[in-house]
Amino acid sequence: QVQLQESGPGLVKPSQTLSLTCTVSGGSISSGSYYWSWIRQPAGKGLEWIGRIYTSGSTNYNPSLKSRVTISVDTSKNQFSLKLSSVTAADTAVYYCARASIDCSGGSCYSEDYWGQGTLVTVSS
């Protein structure tokens, strides 16, 4: 059973860079059958898709964040990471990492089916 776990600082100062890592266990991040996503949720609000990375390194980002976001993968550590630069209070949220299959023959695909528990990041001085 695959599991995902977010880690990183819970407090980031305004204008600095938010950095989070998602560690994947119970499966290899190198499998070409999946992509790996970041999604966030401000307190009491809805969900916002940040972006995704394929094992090949190919990425897609939400245009609303694209200028500030970098998602990368480290297959040797079975991890992928999120960097969000120039943060403001509006970036305060619970950040989730998730996995989605790109193989549509076995059930859901292009739909995040495994999620981490989420980590709260607060932007404040």
Partner 1 sequence: DIQMTQSPSSLSASVGDRVTITCQASQDISNYLNWYQQKPGKAPKLLIYDASNLETGVPSRFSGSGSGTDFTFTISSLQPEDIATYYCQQYDNLPPTFGQGTKLEIK
| Spatial separation of the C-alpha atoms in residues 36 and 24, rounded to whole Å | 10
Cβ proximity to partner 1: between 7 and 48 the closer is 48
What separation in angstroms does the CA of 120 have from each of 26, 46, 59, 117? 24, 15, 24, 10
- Binding residues for partner 1, rule CB under 8 A, total 23
Does the footprint of partner 1 cover residue 103 (CB under 8 A)?
Answer: no
Taking the complex as a whole, the smallest distance from the CB of residue 13 to partner 1 amounts, in Å, to: 26
Considering the complex, state which of residue 49 and residue 78 has its C-beta at the smaller distance from partner 1: 49
Contacts of 105 (CB under 8 A, 6+ apart): none
Q: What is the nearest approach in angstroms of partner 1 to the Cβ of residue 85?
A: 19
Cα-based angle 67, 73, 74 (whole degrees, multiple of 5): 140
Q: Which two tokens stand for residue 93?
A: 């949220």
When asked if residue 10 is in the footprint of partner 1 (CB under 8 A), the reply is no
Beta partners for residue 49, in sequence order = 39
Among residues 63, 76, 124, 125, the one that binds partner 1 under rule CB under 8 A: 63
Residues that bind partner 1 (CB under 8 A): 46-49, 51, 60-64, 96, 98, 107-113, 115-118
